[in-house]
Structure 1
């Protein structure tokens, strides 16, 4: 039970296909206690259905990352209900649909700032605001994608946001390392999620990945969840500031 006695907050679960939900399931499977975040009232019902059969039921919290005061409210709610925690998972990203459909050069200022605020700055803000409620030897994880390094058609501004997110992982790892808090990212291969369905020709991306990845397949949600367990556990105590690939080896290929 790698996470026995650890309390981990996971943000944000939208439905059963969310990477965040896969991670939450793996945390529970390996003995950890989860706190589950959701974006707004509209998605609360989905989360309540997912946890309906769990006993005991995890604490669920509404987390709108667009305002610092909302994040502060969530941190206080967690502290009041479960005390200090041993880490959190940031699985939050968004860009307006036009910014994914149109060429990157046509990205509007508003769309660019929105993508950066929700997908990148939220991670910085959550790390700062949650720091007082993190135990020593805590672990923070965010989710990224290979579009941060190479051009993925139709990924556009999200690729630029993920590049900034990965740089933030390194800077936060430095800032928090003195307090023995680790910060890492998981770069997951393409998975069918609510967010992924907003990317044009996503099914083509899945086929392309499957054909060229060394393992000749796409990854499963569970594999991302289990990697998160490793990074949240004491087994990864010497790892920080890294991007861990869970993509069936796709990132190593040149052609």
Structure 2
């Protein structure tokens, strides 16, 4: 009979077969922002990071979201579970103060949040309001820059900052609308963060999954058509899943990616290569 190589204390409900490969992230501590439910990209990342041995801090948006997120975070044995709405003044700073007091350092930050007002998102880019565009930039892009600023003094031994983008940042994608320019700004921000913090051993990445059926994606008009198009055009003839995105994020956080920074990493079954 083959020996069972699972951990003696497997994670409740979220034990992952990738934990068989060893604790390549053991000793690393990181913040995962954007877990909304078990289908969210941030959760897929958190599961893989924990499976590879990392210790996590997990945030939830507000009291309404807490009842969905807290059980997931507890199953991941998250050391820190805290609220974070980046639009609430001082809340992001309070979170990093809590991390500083609890851990004193930070090895990685996974930024997986985005937002655009529905009216602006469903209209033409040239018709979007100044207020809607500013709000989308604040939540989806500036918050990443602010997290990089707050994480910098905690990453004394180097670290990784990763955020989530989409193919619509580089090409015009029907119905993606205002989020295209916003994600393009996010990818440019990653490059500048990588350049400015590189000498401190801090690396930055944008991870660009194909379309995924998450709650956030449901706000995009005709999203089912986008999914069908991606499935038909991708060389693999399928969508990726959050576990595949999570494995790539775990690789970027780990030492094997030490020679990389500033890149947009596509995890979309090859879709971005097809005209």
TM-score higher than 0.5 here? yes
User: 148, 155, 161: which is aligned to 2:182?
Assistant: 161
Equivalent residue number for residue 6 of structure 2: none
Asked if structure 2 preserves the Cα contact closer than 8 Å seen for 1:68 and 1:125, the reply is no
What does 1:1-255 correspond to in 2, within 5 Å?
1-54=23-76, 56-67=77-88, 69-254=90-275
Report the CA distance between 1:48 and its aligned residue.
1.4
User: How far off its partner does 1:169 sit?
Assistant: 0.3
TM-score, normalization by structure 2: 0.89
Q: Which runs of 4+ in 1 moved over 3 A?
A: 51-54
Give the C-alpha shift of residue 69 in structure 1. 2.2
State the aligned residue count.
Answer: 253
Paired residue secondary structure (1:182): strand
Task: Report the CA distance between 1:129 and its aligned residue.
Answer: 1.4
Q: Compared with structure 1, are the counterparts of its residues 184 and 107 closer, same or farther at alpha carbon in structure 2 (3 Å cutoff)?
A: same
Contact 2:124 2:178 in 1 (8 A): no
Q: CA contact under 8 A between 2:57 and 2:78: conserved in structure 1?
A: no
> 2 CA distance for matches of 1:170 and 1:53?
34
Deviations 1:118-176 (A, max 9, x none): 11111111110121122422111000000001111111111110000000000000110
Deviation of residue 100 (structure 1)?
Answer: 1.7
SS in 2 for 1:136: coil
Q: Which has the larger radius of gyration?
A: 2
Deviation at 1:58, TM superposition (A): 3.1
Give RMSD over aligned pairs: 1.2
Tell me if the contact between 1:12 and 1:63 (Cα under 8 Å) persists in the aligned partners: no
CA drift of 1:95 comes to: 0.2
* 2:5 aligned residue: none
Q: Between the two structures, name the one with larger relative contact order (CA 8 Å, sep ≥ 6).
A: 1
> What is the CA–CA distance in structure 1 between the aligned matches of 2:95 and 2:75, rounded to whole Å?
24
Compared with structure 1, are the counterparts of its residues 21 and 199 closer, same or farther at alpha carbon in structure 2 (3 Å cutoff)?
same
SS of the equivalent of 2:201 reads coil
Uncovered stretches (5+) of structure 2, i.e. residues with no partner: 1-22
Q: Structure 1 stretches of 5 or more lacking a match?
A: none
